[in-house]
Structure 1
Amino acid sequence: MTKRIESVDILRGFTIAAMILVNTPGDWSNVYSPLLHAKWHGLTPTDLVFPFFLFIVGISIYFAYKSKSNSLLTYKKIVIRSLKLIGLGLFLNLFLPYVPFVSDFETLRLPGVLQRIGVVFLISSILYLNCNWKSLLGISIIILVAYWLFLGFMPFPNLNGIPPSFDRASNNWANYIDLNLLGKHMWQPDYDPEGIISTLPAIVTCLIGILIGKLLDGLKQIKQLFIVAFGLLISGYIFSIYFPINKAIWSSSFVLVTSGWGTLLLAIIYYLIDIKKYNFGNIFKYVGMNAITIYFLSSFISKFMYLTKVGEDSNIHSWLYETIYIHGFLSFKLSSLLYALTVVLCYLGLGYYMYLKRIFIKV
């Protein structure tokens, strides 16, 4: 970024640490409920993690490209970066230990977290380079309203007059489109949380980040951030009366509420770090400087540990968890959490090491 804002790096690193925490419990059968996604409608702390990251991607886009021209070279770099992200995501879906590119291609999951980041980054960057802030705001509103109207009111063909639904059902347009276009290439047989049509409102999450980046760049009073945060939260919770908060389909109310919480948390960190100059949170800043690299490594190593056998009935992950963390005086949920916290500490340490060695890998 041409202008480095400490609070943005800290929030980015905190988000990556939270991603690793919720993705690597010792035992998926024993996890505290705040560390799990909502089963369908609703919002848990875990549901905030991915939208926070897309929100921060938007802030980063603003600062990275605010002085860039609409040159062929700029677009080339954007496309290449997007393709790298998509490629890394597909690699994680393909990867098996010792046989790197062997998988069941008939059921290979095509969507994913990194794939969505790549697509959202591509479209949001192009929109930013070609639109002013008023146009970006207008596009965001149109997408959120149109998405609600489409999912909630567009009649379904061949369903004998059954109205569309926001529920996890065959008459949910988001699920219906994914099932018909992706088929077996989804996370679940009936839906994918990083599906095709739900990527549209995910783009709005990033566009809101771009607008917040513009606000940060010319920020005069911190109360401006708090006002925007509460405005997003209030509008989102009101919208949820008509369009429930839902991460799986990335509902319009989900976009507004999560962007509101992201802006509020950013405002608090900005006030403490960039205004009051309190010196804390650097460990998250170091992770934030290599965010995609550390997230990719955590996913790659976690999958490797799950798929590498130790004996006949265990893998590296289960062997470590059962050998080190299972004790009679600890509950299973606490043991599972301690394992996840240990993994997070390892990657915080890696982020610090990379910072000390001045290793900054841009994907």
Structure 2
Amino acid sequence: MMLLMILVDNAGGVLPAINHSPWNGVTLADFVMPFFLFIVGVSLALTYKKLSCSTVATRKAIVRTLKLLILGLFFQGGFLHGINDLTYGVDIEQIRWLGILQRIAIAYLLTALCEIWLKGVDNVNSGSSLLRKYRFQWFFALMLTTLYLFLLYGLYVPDWEYQIPIKASSSAPKMFSVKCGVRGDTEPACNAVGMIDRKILGINHLYRRPVYARTEQCSINSPDYGPLPSDAPSWCQAPFDPEGLLSSVMAIVTCLVGLHYGHIIVHFKDHKDRIFHWMITTSCLILLGLSLDLCGMHLNKVLYSFSYMCFTAGVAGILFAAIYLMVDVCGYRRLTLVMEWMGMHALMIYIIAACNIVPVVLQGFYWGRPQNNILRLIGIGS
């Protein structure tokens, strides 16, 4: 996952085909988040397979969650202004409340609490007994999915407005009006995911470079960013958070799916049994995801649609089973030592690679004037 994340972060701008899909559909980059959440779920099943004290485990999970939330606010809330801007600090009225680390933190906490408190006492000797033991966790996943679908397709989205600042400080911000008045829409302008974030978080606290700015309606260079077409719709420059509140509901379900794969490791000791049960779940998820996409519930990473959750979790299951087969069954562990190291230091690597920490630090050393720094010398950020 970390190798894939580094690849798409650094090559996505050069090769838009592997960058995040502008809206519907999936590309290579769109698998990074669900793969990460999936493996978090797997690891939680192994971490909590033997609990000495549920209360202590809960307290530790909450502390880890708070650490991730704080790191997310610091690195993705706008405090570090990025390459070519030797300033720092963030206006609380403009801070981005949510982000990748915050989503992982929320999914981690709720999945950990499920594993700590929602386990049955049944003995597991078959697939059906496995489902019975963890029936309350599956019921929770069903509740989350139902809530997501109900809000996405049931909420009425009214017309809304937003404004963007003009570069000239003396000019008033430019106001845009977006016409909606619909229910159940899943296009960029009028979906319930964006509406909930605007109402609860506030539009000033959302991500300001939305992925739909690369759609054909909003960019003459689509699927890359570019100037607006002359007939661009009014919503093209509106903030939209890809890690918003409602979309994070389905992200939690991805983590719970990974938890199920981890349960299979815990309760089935034979390689064939493990792979058999993984493949049943994987096949069902992929078929359901693709079927829903064909029926109009499109694969969409930004909305984290139910079909997207099913399909990406299923693909994560295939990759997980393949690596298990290669390493644990066939014994080719040397080939994965680098990936194992990266997995053990995933948070550190994410902060360094995805949050531009090294470039931001390096550009602070310059000669004569800030523009004369090593990043400009080697052509990064120019």
TM-score by length of 2: 0.73
Q: Which of the numbers 194, 197, 202 marks the counterpart of 1:175?
A: 194
Match status 1:116 vs 2:103: yes
Q: Which of the numbers 307, 327, 330 marks the counterpart of 1:253?
A: 307
* Residues in 2 aligned to 1:178 and 1:103: alpha-carbon distance in whole angstroms: 20
Name the count of aligned residue pairs: 306
Tell me the residue number matched to 1:208. Answer: 257
Rg larger in 1 or in 2? 2
Tell me the residue number matched to 1:23. Answer: 9
Q: Kindly tell me: are residues 322 and 56 of structure 1, through their superposed partners in 2, closer, same or farther at Cα, counting changes over 3 Å?
A: closer
Match status 1:62 vs 2:45: yes
Q: Kindly tell me: are residues 315 and 18 of structure 1, through their superposed partners in 2, closer, same or farther at Cα, counting changes over 3 Å?
A: farther
| Structure 1 stretch displaced more, 112-121 or 235-244 | 235-244
* Residues in 1 aligned to 2:252 and 2:319: alpha-carbon distance in whole angstroms: 20
* Residues in 1 aligned to 2:152 and 2:27: alpha-carbon distance in whole angstroms: 23
Structure 1, unaligned runs of 5 or more: 1-14, 327-363
* Other structure's SS at 1:184 match: helix
Aligned CA-pair RMSD:
2.7
Q: Kindly tell me: are residues 155 and 293 of structure 1, through their superposed partners in 2, closer, same or farther at Cα, counting changes over 3 Å?
A: same
* Residues in 2 aligned to 1:303 and 1:91: alpha-carbon distance in whole angstroms: 16
Q: How far apart are 1:100 and its partner, in Å? A: 8.6
Tell me the residue number matched to 1:95. Answer: 80
Q: Which of the numbers 313, 317, 324 marks the counterpart of 1:270?
A: 324
Q: Kindly tell me: are residues 177 and 276 of structure 1, through their superposed partners in 2, closer, same or farther at Cα, counting changes over 3 Å?
A: same
Q: Is the contact made by 1:306 and 1:318 (CA closer than 8 Å) also made in structure 2?
A: no
Instruction: Give the number of the structure whose residues are more often helix, by fraction.
Output: 1
| Structure 1 stretch displaced more, 191-200 or 15-24 | 15-24
Q: Which of the numbers 72, 82, 89 marks the counterpart of 2:55?
A: 72
- What's the CA shift string for 1:240-266, capped at 9, x where partnerless? 224211111111111111100000001
Q: Kindly tell me: are residues 142 and 237 of structure 1, through their superposed partners in 2, closer, same or farther at Cα, counting changes over 3 Å?
A: farther
Match status 1:163 vs 2:183: yes
Tell me the residue number matched to 2:288. Answer: 235
* Residues in 2 aligned to 1:313 and 1:35: alpha-carbon distance in whole angstroms: 31
Q: Kindly tell me: are residues 315 and 121 of structure 1, through their superposed partners in 2, closer, same or farther at Cα, counting changes over 3 Å?
A: farther
* Residues in 2 aligned to 1:63 and 1:231: alpha-carbon distance in whole angstroms: 24
TM-score by length of 1: 0.77
Match status 1:199 vs 2:218: no
Give % identity. Answer: 29
Q: Is the contact made by 2:157 and 2:191 (CA closer than 8 Å) also made in structure 1?
A: no
Select the structure with the greater relative contact order (CA < 8 A; seq sep ≥ 6). Answer: 1
Match status 1:292 vs 2:278: no
Match status 1:125 vs 2:115: no
Q: Is the contact made by 1:156 and 1:163 (CA closer than 8 Å) also made in structure 2?
A: yes
Structure 2, unaligned runs of 5 or more: 120-133, 160-178, 209-237
The AA in structure 2 aligned to 1:185 is H
* Residues in 1 aligned to 2:25 and 2:342: alpha-carbon distance in whole angstroms: 29
The AA in structure 1 aligned to 2:18 is L
Q: Kindly tell me: are residues 235 and 307 of structure 1, through their superposed partners in 2, closer, same or farther at Cα, counting changes over 3 Å?
A: farther
Q: How far apart are 1:139 and its partner, in Å? A: 2.0
- What's the CA shift string for 1:201-237, capped at 9, x where partnerless? 1100101011110012233322322222111100111
Q: Is the contact made by 2:38 and 2:316 (CA closer than 8 Å) also made in structure 1?
A: yes
